[in-house]
A and B are shown apart, each in its own frame.
Chain A
Amino acid sequence: MKLFYKIKRVGLLIITAGILITACNKAPLPPAPIAQPVQGTSPTLATLLDNPDSSFTFLKAAVVRAGLLAALSSPTQRYTVFAPDNTAFMLSGISSVGVINSLPVATVAGLVSYHVIPQVIASTSIPTTFPNFEYPSILNPTTGTPGFNPLVRLTNFPSRRGSAAWINNIPITATNVSAVNGVLHKVAVLVAPPTRFLWDSISTSADLTYLRAAVIRADSGVAVAGTLQTALSSFGVNLTILAPTDLAFRTTLTGAIAGALIPLITAQLIAGGATPAQAAAQAPGIALAQATTLAATPAVFSNPALFGALSAQTVKGIVVYHILGTTIPGIRVFSVNMPTTATQVKTLLNQAVAVHPGVTVRATFAGPFVGAATVKGLANATASNIIINPANPFATDQNYINGVMLRIDQVLMPQ
Chain B
Amino acid sequence: MRKIASYMMVLFLANILTSVAFAQSSTISGKIVNRTTNESISAVSVTIKGSQVGTFTDDKGNFKVNFNQKLPVTVLFSSVGYALQELVVSNPSDYLTIQMAPSNSLGQEVVVSATKVAQKILESPVSIERVSAANIRNSPVSSYYDILSSLKGVDFTTSSLTFKTPSTRGFNGSGNTRVNQIVDGMDNQAPGLNFSVGSVIGLTELDVDNIELLPGASSALYGTGGMNGTILINSKNPFKYQGLSFQVKTGIMNADTRYREASSYNNWSLRWAKKVSEKFAFKIGTEIISAKDWLGYDKRNYLRKGTTGNIITGDRASDPNYDGVNVYGDETTTDIRTAVLNAIGSSAAPFLKNFIDTLNGGRPINVSRTGYNENDIVSPNTLNYKISGAFHYKITPGIEAVLSGYWGTGNTIYTGSERYSLRALKVGQYKLELNHKNWMVRGYTTQENSGESYNATVTARLFNENWKPSGGATGWFSQYSQAYLGGRLNGLTDFAAQQLARSSADVGRPVPGTPAFKSGFDKIRSLPIGGNPGGGLFVDKSDLYMVEGQYNLTHLTSKFADILVGANYKQYNLNSQGTLFADGGGIIKIGEYGGYIQATRNLFEFLKITLSGRYDKNDNFKGRFTPRATALIKVANNNNIRVSFQTAYRFPTTQQQWIDLDVGSSTRLLGGVPFFQQKYNLNTNTYSLNELPSVTTPYTVRPFKPEAVSTYELGYKGLALQDKLLIDVYGYYGQYQDFLTRRLLVKPSGNNTVNDIVAALNNGVAVSNVANIYSIPVNSPSKVKTYGFGLSVDYRLPASFMIGANVSSDNLKDVPVGFAAYFSTPKYRANFSIGNTGFGYKKRLGFNVAYRWQDAFFFEGDFANETLPAIHTVDAQISLKLPATKSMLKLGANNLLNQYYTNSAGNSIVGGLYYVSFAYNVF
Cα A263 to Cα B505 in complex, Å, equals 72
Residue B495 is within 8 A (CB to CB) of chain A in the complex? yes
A136 touches B874 (CB 8 A): no
Residue A104 is within 8 A (CB to CB) of chain B in the complex? no
Known contacts A71-B490, A119-B488, A236-B350, A33 near B496 by CB under 8 Å: no
A27 vs chain B, min Cβ distance (A): 4
Residue B114 is within 8 A (CB to CB) of chain A in the complex? no
Known contacts A23-B897, A26-B869, A136-B355, A31 near B490 by CB under 8 Å: no
A409 vs chain B, min Cβ distance (A): 31
Residue B318 is within 8 A (CB to CB) of chain A in the complex? yes
Known contacts A133-B354, A236-B351, A15 near B874 by CB under 8 Å: yes
B846 vs chain A, min Cβ distance (A): 13
Known contacts A32-B314, A236-B349, A25 near B849 by CB under 8 Å: no
Cα A79 to Cα B849 in complex, Å, equals 66
1/0 contact string of A131-161 vs chain B (CB within 8 Å)? 0011110100000000000111101000000
A25 touches B869 (CB 8 A): yes
**Complex interface: chain A residues within 8 A of B876 (CB):** 15
1/0 contact string of B342-371 vs chain A (CB within 8 Å)? 001000111111110010000000000000
A14 touches B832 (CB 8 A): yes
1/0 contact string of B481-496 vs chain A (CB within 8 Å)? 0100110111111011
Residue A7 is within 8 A (CB to CB) of chain B in the complex? yes
A21 vs chain B, min Cβ distance (A): 5
B874 vs chain A, min Cβ distance (A): 4
B839 touches A31 (CB 8 A): no
**Complex interface: chain A residues within 8 A of B902 (CB):** 27-28
Residue B82 is within 8 A (CB to CB) of chain A in the complex? no
Known contacts A23-B899, A133-B354, A34 near B319 by CB under 8 Å: yes
Known contacts A25-B901, A28-B297, A77-B492, A136 near B352 by CB under 8 Å: yes
Residue A3 is within 8 A (CB to CB) of chain B in the complex? yes
**Complex interface: chain A residues within 8 A of B496 (CB):** 76-77
**Complex interface: chain B residues within 8 A of A77 (CB):** 490-493, 496
Residue A185 is within 8 A (CB to CB) of chain B in the complex? no
Cα A28 to Cα B873 in complex, Å, equals 16
Residue B17 is within 8 A (CB to CB) of chain A in the complex? no
A27 touches B909 (CB 8 A): yes
B344 touches A151 (CB 8 A): yes
Cα A167 to Cα B428 in complex, Å, equals 79
Cα A152 to Cα B495 in complex, Å, equals 22
B315 touches A134 (CB 8 A): no
Residue A341 is within 8 A (CB to CB) of chain B in the complex? no
A118 touches B351 (CB 8 A): no
Question: Looking at the complex, which of B28-36, B449-457, B778-786, B795-803 is the stretch in contact with chain A?
Answer: B795-803
Can you name the residue of chain B whose Cβ is closest to the Cβ of A134? B354
Residue A78 is within 8 A (CB to CB) of chain B in the complex? yes
**Complex interface: chain B residues within 8 A of A14 (CB):** 832, 834, 849, 851
Residue B433 is within 8 A (CB to CB) of chain A in the complex? no
1/0 contact string of A70-95 vs chain B (CB within 8 Å)? 01001011110000000000000000
Cα A134 to Cα B315 in complex, Å, equals 34
A261 vs chain B, min Cβ distance (A): 45
Residue B552 is within 8 A (CB to CB) of chain A in the complex? no
Partner of B872, one of A25, A133, A150: A25
B900 touches A33 (CB 8 A): no
B490 touches A118 (CB 8 A): yes
Can you name the residue of chain B whose Cβ is closest to the Cβ of A1? B799
B489 touches A118 (CB 8 A): yes
B488 touches A118 (CB 8 A): yes
Can you name the residue of chain A whose Cβ is closest to the Cβ of B300? A31
Residue from the set A31, A138, A151 with the largest chain B CB neighbour count within 10 Å: A31
The B-contacting residues of A in range 1-44, CB under 8 angstroms, are 3-4, 7, 10-11, 14-15, 18-19, 21-36
A72 vs chain B, min Cβ distance (A): 9
Residue A345 is within 8 A (CB to CB) of chain B in the complex? no
Cα A76 to Cα B798 in complex, Å, equals 74
B872 touches A15 (CB 8 A): no
The A-contacting residues of B in range 720-759, CB under 8 angstroms, are none
Known contacts A33-B313, A33-B318, A151 near B486 by CB under 8 Å: yes
A151 touches B314 (CB 8 A): no
Residue from the set B348, B349, B353 with the largest chain A CB neighbour count within 10 Å: B349
Cα A116 to Cα B876 in complex, Å, equals 70
Residue from the set A28, A36, A153 with the largest chain B CB neighbour count within 10 Å: A28
A76 touches B495 (CB 8 A): yes
Known contacts A33-B315, A78-B493, A151-B482, A135 near B354 by CB under 8 Å: yes
Residue A329 is within 8 A (CB to CB) of chain B in the complex? yes
**Complex interface: chain B residues within 8 A of A151 (CB):** 344, 348-349, 352, 482, 485-486, 489
Partner of B314, one of A7, A10, A27, A34: A34
**Complex interface: chain A residues within 8 A of B317 (CB):** 33
Residue A238 is within 8 A (CB to CB) of chain B in the complex? yes
**Complex interface: chain A residues within 8 A of B344 (CB):** 151
Cα A31 to Cα B314 in complex, Å, equals 6
1/0 contact string of B862-905 vs chain A (CB within 8 Å)? 00000001111110100000000000000000001101111000
Partner of B834, one of A11, A27, A30, A31: A11
**Complex interface: chain A residues within 8 A of B314 (CB):** 31-34
Residue A237 is within 8 A (CB to CB) of chain B in the complex? yes
The B-contacting residues of A in range 116-133, CB under 8 angstroms, are 116, 118-119, 133
Can you name the residue of chain A whose Cβ is closest to the Cβ of B348? A151
Cα A20 to Cα B874 in complex, Å, equals 11
Can you name the residue of chain B whose Cβ is closest to the Cβ of A137? B489
Residue B298 is within 8 A (CB to CB) of chain A in the complex? yes
B798 vs chain A, min Cβ distance (A): 6
A134 touches B353 (CB 8 A): yes
1/0 contact string of B303-328 vs chain A (CB within 8 Å)? 00000000001111111001010000
**Complex interface: chain A residues within 8 A of B319 (CB):** 34
Known contacts A27-B909, A31-B301, A34-B319, A138 near B900 by CB under 8 Å: no
Known contacts A34-B314, A36-B318, A138-B491, A27 near B872 by CB under 8 Å: no
The A-contacting residues of B in range 803-820, CB under 8 angstroms, are none
Residue B299 is within 8 A (CB to CB) of chain A in the complex? yes
A78 touches B491 (CB 8 A): yes
Known contacts A22-B899, A76-B492, A7 near B353 by CB under 8 Å: no
Cα A74 to Cα B348 in complex, Å, equals 30
Cα A237 to Cα B799 in complex, Å, equals 96
A30 touches B299 (CB 8 A): yes
B340 vs chain A, min Cβ distance (A): 12
Residue B853 is within 8 A (CB to CB) of chain A in the complex? yes
Cα A151 to Cα B301 in complex, Å, equals 32
A4 touches B839 (CB 8 A): yes
B198 vs chain A, min Cβ distance (A): 26
**Complex interface: chain A residues within 8 A of B493 (CB):** 76-78
**Complex interface: chain B residues within 8 A of A138 (CB):** 489-491
A22 touches B874 (CB 8 A): yes
**Complex interface: chain A residues within 8 A of B486 (CB):** 150-151
Known contacts A27-B902, A118-B488, A32 near B313 by CB under 8 Å: yes
**Complex interface: chain B residues within 8 A of A29 (CB):** 300
Cα A30 to Cα B871 in complex, Å, equals 18
Can you name the residue of chain B whose Cβ is closest to the Cβ of A127? B354
**Complex interface: chain A residues within 8 A of B352 (CB):** 136, 151, 153
Can you name the residue of chain B whose Cβ is closest to the Cβ of A77? B491
Cα A155 to Cα B351 in complex, Å, equals 7
**Complex interface: chain A residues within 8 A of B874 (CB):** 15, 18-19, 22
**Complex interface: chain B residues within 8 A of A19 (CB):** 874, 897
Can you list 6 A-B pairs with a CB-CB distance of less than 8 A?
A: A4-B799, A15-B876, A31-B315, A34-B315, A77-B496, A151-B485
Given A33-B313, A34-B314, A119-B491, 10 more pairs with CB closer than 8 A: A14-B832, A22-B874, A26-B869, A31-B299, A31-B313, A32-B300, A151-B349, A151-B489, A235-B351, A329-B350
Chain B interface residues toward A at CB < 8 A:
297-301, 313-319, 322, 324, 344, 348-355, 358, 482, 485-486, 488-493, 495-496, 797-799, 801, 832, 834, 839, 849, 851, 853, 869-874, 876, 896-897, 899-902, 909
